[in-house]
Amino acid sequence: MYAATAALPVSHAADSSRIKLDAENKKAELAAKIKMHPEEYLPVTAGKFKTGVLGGISEFPVTLTNRSTVVMDLVVVRIDYILHNKKIFKTENVSFQNLAPGSTVTGEASKSSRGVNISFRLTTANAQQIGLAYSNP
């Protein structure tokens, strides 16, 4: 009498190590891509704002979208308030925290007593999940 035995899959330590290494490489690759081109993964847009008769900016929305596949723990957008003579009147940072992948959030920049225009850019992006610490002050 013969007994049939089923072949069981064998888990090898080498396979497990390779899978872990592949995952770490993908995280590092994504972090490098975001760091090289953050505007592709974290686009920032500014909504229409109101300007006073003699200058001054109010009701200024800033929208940020997380196009990456990871949670962004902290993203900071720098906003410069620009005077008639093209000089910067003041600078402000708007922070966004815990942005889920694919999410879009809108924050409100503070009012400015002076200024007729604005400029903005992404200055910080941190994602602990992939070890990203991007900074461009």
Q: Give residue 89's pLDDT.
A: 93
- pTM score: 0.79
Q: Give residue 112's pLDDT.
A: 86
Strand boundaries in 5-131, DSSP class E: 44-46, 50-51, 57-58, 60-65, 72-82, 88-99, 104-109, 117-127
Within 1-137, where are the H helices? 13-36, 38-41
Q: Give the Cα separation of 3 and 46 in Å (integer).
A: 73
- How many degrees, rounded to 5, is the angle at CA 15 between CA 9 and CA 17? 140
- How many degrees, rounded to 5, is the angle at CA 95 between CA 113 and CA 36? 115
pLDDT mean by block of 10 residues, the chain; 137 residues:
54 68 81 88 88 80 94 95 92 95 92 88 93 89
Per-residue buried b or exposed e for 103-113, using 16+ beta carbons within 10 Å of the residue's own CB: eeeeeebeebe
Q: Give the Cα separation of 2 and 80 in Å (integer).
A: 82
Q: Give the Cα separation of 62 and 2 in Å (integer).
A: 74
Q: Which CATH homologous superfamily contains domain 13-135?
A: Immunoglobulins (2.60.40.10)
Q: Give the Cα separation of 77 and 123 in Å (integer).
A: 6
Residue type, 94: V
